[in-house]
Amino acid sequence: MSAPTPSSKKSAAKPSAPKARGQLPKAAGSKRVYCYGPAGTEGDAGMQDLLGGKGANLAEMCRLGLPVPPGFTITTDVSIEFLRVGGAFPAGLNEEVATALSGLEKALGKRFGDPHDPLLVSVRSGARVSMPGMMDTVLNLGLNDTTVEGLARKSGNRRFAFDAYRRFVQMYGDVVLGVRGADGEDECPFHAALDAKKRAVGARADTDLSAADLEELVGVFKGLVRAHTGREFPQDPTEQLWGAIAAVFRSWNNDRAVAYRQMNRIPTSWGTAVSVVAMVYGNLGEDSGTGVAFTRNPSTGEKRFYGEYLPNAQGEDVVAGVRTPLPIEHLEETQPRAWRDLQRIQKLLERHWRDMQDLEFTIQEGQLFMLQCRAGKRTGFAAVRIAVDLVKERRISPKEALLRVDPEALEQLLRPVFDPAQLEAARRSGRRLTRGLNAGPGAATGRIAFTPTEAVRRKSAGEAVVLVRIETSPEDIKGMQAAVGILTARGGMTSHAALVARQMGRVCVAGAGQLEIDTAAKRMTVGGQTLAEGDWISIDGNSGEVYAGQISTRPSEVLESLLGDHPPAERTPIVAAYHQLLGWADRERRMDVRTNADQGDQAATAIALGAEGIGLCRTEHMFFGERKIDAVREMILAEDPEQRAAALAKLLPLQRADFAAIFKAMAGFPVTVRSLDPPLHEFLPHEPEQMAELAINLGVDLERLSAKIHSLYESNPMLGHRGCRLGISYPEITRTQARALFEAAVDVFVSTGRAPLPEVMIPLVSTARELELQAGLVRAEAEAVFAERGVRFPYLVGTMIELPRAALTADLIAEHADFFSFGTNDLTQTTFGISRDDAGKFIPLYIEQEIFPADPFANLDEAGVGKLLEIACEGGRRTRPGIKLGICGEHGGDPRSIDFCERLDLDYISCSPYRVPIARLAAAQAALRRNPG
């Protein structure tokens, strides 16, 4: 193979793809450097853990005979060791890299550091899973004041050589030597110098700068390095190489990589590989360029090759979003040969990996080179559509399709769109500001923040925020997380931040080029209108439109197809794919999916979303209504059992009506109703005016009322007089609730002919005796109602397991329980001894310091809380084989926790209505992982 170096147009042959496909034996053990290229390829796509996704897939593409510039990969193990010992390379690595480098020199017929025809390399990061743009890369390494002249002579293109050199000094200066603005958000000094140069010579784009301009710029850049570091820019290519390798290893721990890992639960211990790759050049002129493409549309999932291309540019220009690129179709006309090759290769790669691929490529003087290939990041819409389409195309099975979609991504399909009437009104009143690229779907409305810091600040103050930036940068990740939407003036669909926004499920409009953003002055101007920080703005990630002001939202088309009064007769592709995928999920899952709902309308929504029962009806939530709350207050403030009975008599019909609505909505599905749980003073007013009002309403003396309220005060209500302790103190409350419930059940049975399936649940039990007493009351009341009404049907009485003692004595508690439902919110609180209400103050710090892998209130702590669940399941089943087991804590809607529930063999999971589809898919995945057959 000839060298992938720019050839003089007049002289030497152009670089060509590796033809030979000799393969070295796959080595294991202590091998730390893996080569790929015409002389042989070590490693393959199966070695992502060791070679990182990039290294493994480059090797695989080489094996497929694709045009990949040769190179070598240093394993992730080396980075872990390097970081563990505080930044020293392991002994012997030097020799292994030197051998690999000389192999590369031989393959290309060039030498690293050769003053006449230098081999240049890129040094790239690559973790086991892709972390787009989170770590660092250095291009054009090997250039110095001498080799740049050799490159200029050899290529016959001085402008190109100095463009490559200024890029190298800039990247190396930033990544390796740490030459940056004072604060992470300040402008980079290299960018500032580049912009100043462009202004000085009247250049609109970087490509308008001449060879002489670029040469001068190199001098300015080197001066910046000297000023910031006190040292000259390193001229020795070997020193440059080791500096870059160390910096890329260290970039595993930069702020944005750490934040990205935390968001995606990627362990620190994985480390990053480093790929050293022979350079190919997209900045050689108009017949060169660089691009990013997806084998299908990553926003909608449509089966259509999709991508962006920048002529006369190098890789980072596209992904960093510095210039807004051209649509990929442009290549068909301007670069027909490369276009044909790209078409052939994209089809081949998608077939090979049986999934949508994200490709990075460079065209050097008309010839295509593949630089990267990985499973493409995609929106929830695209994930669902692509998975279902691949089944239709017979590329994957329905089971594989189910495993391809992140359950959390379904949330995007259920996310709101703008209310059409308000949208139209906004258009008519001239509030439409501009249009950008529809980079992340959904509709978002919020207050403008111009910096990530401001976005985080506003979010913590409880505001909805839209982060508005000039260009997308992976540095913004924390601000992106805080925002409901992201709007940028520059950058394309394939910029790193657009990829990350899509993956995070943020609404994103990118590349809205008409925006003039002045970050320092905290304002932006577009179409004659000026908006300041804190002003409302609305962005539509489906159309790319941007509007001033607030626009309210309404359900998405998928939600409309599930909940709408008039779902459209014809399903759009995404609606059809959603229904297909969830249908497959229901076929595969073993656990039932129930919902936590307290009102008839919530229950109806949950059913429409696929719930198969109620796993938790918190009866206290049913009291939040004007009339009901006063009756409850009267009950709490009663001075004696007679007064309490009178108040409860008022409550009974109200509760009965609510229960009846729920039983009707759940037609024949089980309904788990919990007796009163929270401490009583939560229902009472605490402000003087409200107390006075209540005293008048109830006709009681204000002083006595406030004394009573005061007497109910608890230092730690979470561990106080709540749960079954209330029912033990005031058995008439449990009795009244049970009566209301069974009367409602009988009414519904009589009116519909269909027997409801009530399951009565006693909360916060810690001893078997508590349950024995409370269950006794419930059963007696049920039997009394059945006897009075002359009908009967099966029902269950069980308990929540939400205290460690209950879990540890589950065998004894099961004597009195037909079922257990794990209340993992309280169980997490009491196992860790962390108050649910105060956890937010320090849990983020615990996650940052990797004391907790994740928030235990969101992801079930398998090692601790999970062990209690195991003990409780085992104890319950020992006493009562076949005891019904479920979960109703928030973890019931969390895919990881659902996987654990599957392994515990629970009968059902229960979650909030809008998480039901997520739980259905997660339950199917859990079943498939447990039983792949």
Selected binder of ligand PEP within 248, 888, 909, 924 (CB under 6 A):
888
SS3 350: helix
C-alpha–C-alpha distance, residues 718 and 836, integer Å: 9
Q: What is the largest CA-CA distance in the chain?
A: 106
- Give the nearest distance from C-beta 296 to ligand PEP in angstroms: 41
Quick count: other Cβ atoms within 10 Å of Cβ 59? 29
- Residue of 350, 826, 899, 902 that binds Mg ion (CB under 5 A): 826
Smallest gap, in angstroms, from Cβ of residue 619 to ligand PEP?
10
φ and ψ at residue 538, rounded to 5 degrees: -130, 135
Q: Which tokens hold the place of 552?
A: 């309210």
Asked whether position 890 contacts Mg ion by CB under 5 A, the answer is: no
Write down the least CB distance from residue 828 to ligand PEP, Å: 8
Residue 585 interacts, among ligand PEP, Mg ion, none and using kind-specific CB cut-offs from 5 to 8 Å, with none
Q: How far is the CB of 177 from Mg ion (least distance, A)?
A: 55
Q: Judged by CB under 6 A, which of 43, 307, 311, 823 binds ligand PEP? A: 823
Please measure the distance between the N-terminal and C-terminal CA atoms of the chain and give it in whole angstroms.
46
The neighbouring-strand residues paired with 593 are 909
Which residues make beta-bridge pairs with 758?
Answer: 671
Instruction: Give how far Cα 161 sits from Cα of 5, 6, 104, 320, 881, Å.
Output: 11, 10, 21, 21, 77
Least distance to Mg ion from the beta carbon of 823, Å?
A: 4
CB 710 within 8 A of CB 686: no
**Residue number, 213 or 802, with CB nearest to Mg ion:** 802
823 lines the binding site for Mg ion (CB under 5 A): yes
Question: Rounded to 5 degrees, what angle do the CA atoms 441, 446, 449 make?
Answer: 105
Q: How far is the CB of 713 from ligand PEP (least distance, A)?
A: 20
Cβ at position 591, least distance to ligand PEP in Å = 17
449-472 burial: b if 16+ Cβ within 10 Å, else e? bbbbebbbebbeeeeebbbbbbbb
Residue 322's binding partner among ligand PEP, Mg ion, none (Cβ under 5 to 8 angstroms by kind) is none
Minimum Å distance from CB 719 to Mg ion? Answer: 12
In the annotation, is 496 catalytic?
yes
The amino acid that residue 217 corresponds to is L
**Residue 824 binds what, of ligand PEP, Mg ion, none (CB under 5 to 8 Å, by partner type)?**
ligand PEP
Binding-site partner at residue 889 among Mg ion, ligand PEP, none, CB < 5 to 8 Å by type: ligand PEP
Span near ligand PEP by CB under 6 A; candidates 198-206, 497-505, 510-518, 820-828: 820-828
Q: What tokens does 68 get? A: 């990949």
Q: Kindly identify the residues of this chain, within the stretch 643-682, that bind ligand PEP according to CB under 6 A.
A: 677
Among 358, 476, 826, 902, binds ligand PEP (CB under 6 A): 826
Which residue from 856, 889, 893, 913 is in contact with ligand PEP, where contact means CB under 6 A? 889
> Vertex 581, ends 575 and 587: CA angle to 5°?
135
Q: Give the whole-angstrom CA distance, residue 206 versus residue 195.
A: 9
Contact stretch for ligand PEP (CB under 6 A) within 247-255, 366-374, 454-462, 822-830: 822-830
The Cα 730–Cα 743 span in angstroms is 21
In the list ligand PEP, Mg ion, none, the entry touching 360 (Cβ below 5 to 8 angstroms by class) is none
Q: Measured between alpha carbons, how far is residue 71 from residues 42, 160, 171, 674 in Å? A: 11, 23, 20, 63
Nearer to Mg ion, 592 or 802 (CB): 802
Rounded CA-CA distance 865/853 in Å is 14
For the CB of residue 830, give the shortest distance to ligand PEP in the complex, in Å.
9
Among 825, 847, 855, 864, binds ligand PEP (CB under 6 A): 825
The beta-strand segments (E) located in 470-610 are 485-488, 507-510, 516-518, 523-526, 529-532, 536-540, 545-548, 553-554, 592-596
**Is 311 or 678 the residue whose CB approaches ligand PEP more closely?**
678
- The residue among 685 and 823 lying less far from Mg ion, judged by its C-beta, is 823
- Comparing CB distances to Mg ion, the nearer of 6 and 823 is 823
Sign of CA dihedral 749, 892, 902, 724: negative
State the minimum distance, in angstroms, from the CB of residue 40 to ligand PEP. 58
Residue 888: which of Mg ion, ligand PEP, none does it interact with, CB under 5 to 8 A by kind?
ligand PEP
* Beta carbon nearer to ligand PEP, 405 or 869: 869
CB of 921 to ligand PEP, least distance (A): 22
- Spatial distance between the Cα atoms of 480 and 697, rounded to a whole number of angstroms: 49
Helical ranges in 33-143 per DSSP H:
48-63, 76-84, 93-108
The verdict on 6 binding ligand PEP (CB under 6 A) reads no
Q: Is the dihedral of CA 254, 255, 261, 267 positive or negative?
A: positive
Q: From the list ligand PEP, Mg ion, none, pick the one residue 616 interacts with, judged by a Cβ distance below 5 to 8 Å according to partner type.
A: ligand PEP
Considering 330, 496, 681, 891, which one is annotated as catalytic? 496
DSSP state of 184: T
Q: Which residues of 35-55 are buried (b: 16+ CB within 10 A; e: fewer)?
A: bbbbbbbbbbbebbbbbbbbb
Which residue, 217 or 800, is less far from Mg ion as judged by CB? 800
Please choose, out of 50-58, 352-360, 780-788, 824-832, the segment that lies near ligand PEP by the rule CB under 6 A: 824-832
Window 832-871: contact mask with ligand PEP (x via CB under 6 A): ----------------------------------------
Residues in region 585-624 near ligand PEP by CB under 6 A: 616, 618
CA dihedral 121, 125, 127, 131 (to 10 degrees): -130
* Cβ-based nearer residue to Mg ion, 476 or 826: 826
- The site map against ligand PEP for 800-819 (x = CB under 6 A) is --x-----------------
Which residue lies nearer to Mg ion by CB, 619 or 925? 619
DSSP states along 471-503: S--GGGHHHHHH-SEEEESS--TTSHHHHHHHH
Choose the catalytic residue: 508, 724, 888, 911: 888
Rule CB under 5 A: which of 779-808 touch Mg ion? 802
Among residues 545 and 826, whose Cβ is nearest to Mg ion?
A: 826
Torsions phi, psi for 251 (to 5 deg): -65, -10
**Of Mg ion, ligand PEP, none, which one sits near residue 525, judging by CB under 5 to 8 A according to partner kind?**
none
The structure tokens 């959904």 sit at: 442
Q: Which residue ranges make up the site for Mg ion (CB under 5 A)?
A: 802, 823, 826
Q: Which residue ranges make up the site for ligand PEP (CB under 6 A)?
A: 616, 618, 677, 802, 823-826, 888-889
Residues designated as active site: 496, 888
